[in-house]
A = this chain, B = another copy of it.
Amino acid sequence: MTDSLDAAQKTRVAVIGLGAMGLPMARRLAEAFPVTVFDIDTARQAEVAAAVPAATPAAAAADADIVVLAVRDQRQVDAALFDVDGVAETLRPGGIVVLTSTVGPDAARATANRLAERGIGLVDAPVSGGPARAGTGDLLIVVGAGETDLAASRPLLDQLASTLTVVGPNPGDGQALKAINQLLAGVHIAAAAEAVALARGLGLDPAVVIDALAKGAAGSFMLADRGPRMLQAYDGGAEVRSRLDIFVKDMGIVSGIAKDAHIPVPLAAAAHQLYLLGERAGLGAADDSSIVTLLSPQGSGQ
C-alpha cells in the first residue's frame, strides 16, 4: 500500500468532465494525487477545491501522466480528446487515458486505436456505483487494458474502486462487461416498475409487495433500490440519482452490440423502447425510477 501510494504521489492526474460522476471522482483522486480539472461548465471546476483548474482539455493534460475521462457519451469523448485544444494535442507519448464513461466496446476500441497512433495508451475502465460511492472510492470498476497500462494506472484505479475486475487485456473488454451489467440493470428496473404498477393496479400496497418479494426468488438489487424510489415517483417525484436518459443511451449500446453479435435480446429491446417512450414523455432528466409513471398514473388512483 505504501509502495503504490509512493507511485501515486508521483502520478499527475487530469480529470475531464465534472458531472455527477466526474466531480466526486476528481475530489477523491485529489486526496491522493496532484489533480488538474476541466469541464466545459467552468463553474464546476471551482467545486474541486484541491485541484488546479485548466482552461482547455489540452491545458489540463499538458503536464499529466494520466487523464481520467468522465464525460457522458462517445461524442463528448471525441470532443475532449480530439477537437482543437483536445487532450491529444498535449498528452505526452507514454501517457494514459482512463476512460470511465460507458460508451460501448466499439467506441472504446476506436478511441484506443486513435490514441495509439500518438503513443498514448487507453485503459477501458467503465464504472458502476453512483455518485456517492464515487466520492468514497467505493466504485465497482471493470477493466480492459494491457498489462503495462494497467500497472501504471492501478494506484489511481485503486483510489476509486473497492472492487476491480480485470475482464481482459484489450480496450473494449471492460465496456463489454459493463454493457451486460446495464442490460441486466435496465431490464430489472423496468421489471420492478411493472411489479409496482401492477401491485397498485391490483389494489395491493406496493411497499408491502416490495418488502415481501425483495428477498426471495423475485429479488434483485434494483427491486430493493429503485422500488421504494418508484413509490416516491408516484408521490411528487423521486430525487434524481440516476437520470433516465442514461438508460436510453446504455440500452442503446446494448441493442447495438447484441445486433452486431446476432444475439436476440427481446427483453433488453423492450426495455430500451420503454426508456425511449419515457424520454418522449418528458422524463429524460428525471430519475430512472420515474419510468413507473408511464405504467400507472401519479396520485392516489391506480
A133 to B218, CA, bound (A): 16
Nearest CB of chain B from residue A261's CB, rounded to whole Å: 4
Interfacial chain B residues near A219, Cβ < 8 Å: 184, 220-221
Structural contact, A218 and B185, CB atoms closer than 8 A: yes
A265 touches B273 (CB 8 A): yes
Counted per complex, copies of this chain come to 4
Q: For A163, A194, A255, which residue has the most chain B Cβ atoms within 10 angstroms? A: A194
Given contacts A204-B176, A216-B140, contact A274 B280 (CB under 8 A): no
**Distance to closest chain B CB from A141 (angstroms):** 11
**Do residues A188 and B266 form an inter-chain contact, with CB atoms below 8 A?**
no
Residues of B within 8 A of A267 (CB): 187, 190-191, 194, 267, 270-271, 274
Give the chain B neighbours of A221 by CB distance below 8 A: 216-220
- Would you call B273 and A202 a contact (CB within 8 A)? no
Contact of A204 among B177, B255, B266 (CB under 8 A): B177
Q: Are A264 and B280 in contact (CB under 8 A)?
A: yes
List which A202-236 residues lie within 8 A (CB) of chain B.
202-204, 208-209, 212-213, 216-223, 225
Q: In the complex the two chains form, is B248's CB within 8 Å of A262's CB?
A: yes
Q: Is A118 an interface residue (CB 8 A)?
A: no
Asked if A286 is an interface residue, CB under 8 A from chain B, the answer is: no
Among A4-12, A61-69, A292-300, the one that faces the other chain is: A292-300
- Chain A residues touching B, majority SS: helix
CB distance from A231 to the nearest CB of B (A): 15
User: Which residue of chain B lies nearest to A220 when distances are taken between CB atoms in the complex?
Assistant: B220
Q: What are the nearest 9 A-B pairs in CB distance?
A: A201-B261, A184-B218, A220-B220, A264-B276, A187-B191, A201-B263, A270-B270, A266-B273, A194-B265
Question: Which residues of A come within 8 Å of B, CB atoms?
Answer: 105, 128-129, 140, 142, 163, 165, 167-168, 173, 176-177, 179-185, 187-188, 190-192, 194-195, 197-199, 201-204, 208-209, 212-213, 216-223, 225, 248, 252, 254-259, 261-274, 276-277, 279-281, 294-297, 302
